Amino acid sequence: MIKQSISETKILTAAKKVFLEKGMAGARMQDIADEAGINKAMLHYYFRNKEKLFDVIFEQSSELFFPKITAIIQSDISLFEKIETFCSAYIEMLLQNPYLPLFILNEANKQPERFRRKFWKNREHLFAKFAKDLSAEITKRKIIRINSAHVFLNMISMCIFPFIAKPVWMMSSGMKEEEFIRFMEERKKVVPAFIIQSLKK
């Protein structure tokens, strides 16, 4: 049982790397076996085909990504606290799983209907809840009148972009890995502060 667990972990780690680099269409089972340091027969023993393996990886990635974010958006905390909590949790999740942004975005763009059907599940209400909260604050005249889509996309893009642009940013800025991590820790506070300030009257 221990050996199986170790082998499966090795395969899943290798598959994440290969799927991230090549996507579902470009990845081959041989690529994954080579990356994992095993033969293809052993790979097929654990995962019958590429589609089954991809489903496991994609579902794991989606489940890392969505539940905590959903819980924050659905909570009854104030709008500003929600923005602060969302940005901090989002950046922390990306620091721990830096492969996630490109992995999920690439596959959601390539196979949007499959993504919606299999992995988005019942999360269509997520943006609607945030929009309702923001609208309530506008009605109370506590914040400026603004389309909630702009605010939500600003939150997401300001958190996610540094991870997507990381190779180019680090090369152009000369930033090292440990500096990037410290920089992103700072952005847990900088991003929500910037967004909240932009909403205040």
Same domain as 103, residue 42? no
Q: What is the pLDDT along the chain (201 residues), one digit of tens a residue?
A: 334 456 888 999 999 888 877 777 788 999 999 999 999 999 999 998 988 888 888 777 777 777 888 889 989 999 999 999 999 999 998 898 877 777 777 777 877 777 777 666 666 677 888 999 999 999 999 999 999 999 999 999 999 999 989 989 999 999 999 999 999 999 999 999 999 999 998
pLDDT for the residue numbered 5: 59
Same domain as 111, residue 31? no
Same domain as 121, residue 67? yes
C-alpha torsion angle, residues 195, 109, 74, 99 (rounded to 10): -80
Residue 175, token pair as written in the block: 């930033």
Same domain as 37, residue 65? no
| Torsions phi, psi for 143 (to 5 deg) | -135, 170
Same domain as 134, residue 90? yes
* CA 21 – CA 59 distance, rounded (Å): 18
Same domain as 117, residue 36? no
Q: Where do runs of H (alpha helix) occur along the chain? A: 2-26, 29-36, 40-46, 50-74, 79-96, 100-110, 112-115, 125-139, 148-164, 166-173, 177-199
Same domain as 28, residue 101? no
Chain centroid to CA 120: 13
Same domain as 92, residue 25? no
Which residues fall within 8 angstroms of residue 173, CB to CB, at 6 or more apart? none
pLDDT for the residue numbered 1: 37
Same domain as 109, residue 170? yes
In a domain, 53, yes or no: no
pLDDT for the residue numbered 154: 95
Same domain as 185, residue 101? yes
In a domain, 20, yes or no: yes
Q: What SS3 string covers 161-173?
A: HHHHCHHHHHHHH
pLDDT for the residue numbered 2: 37
In a domain, 143, yes or no: yes
Residue 190: which CATH number?
Answer: 1.10.357.10
Residue 9: which CATH number?
Answer: 1.10.10.60
In a domain, 109, yes or no: yes
pLDDT for the residue numbered 119: 62
Same domain as 149, residue 86? yes
Chain centroid to CA 39: 31
Could you tell me the residue range of the domain that residue 64 belongs to? 58-199
Count of the separate structural domains present in the chain: 2
| Torsions phi, psi for 200 (to 5 deg) | -70, 145
pLDDT for the residue numbered 27: 87
HSE-CB for 137 with a 13 A CA cutoff: 22
Same domain as 64, residue 29? no
HSE-CB for 188 with a 13 A CA cutoff: 15
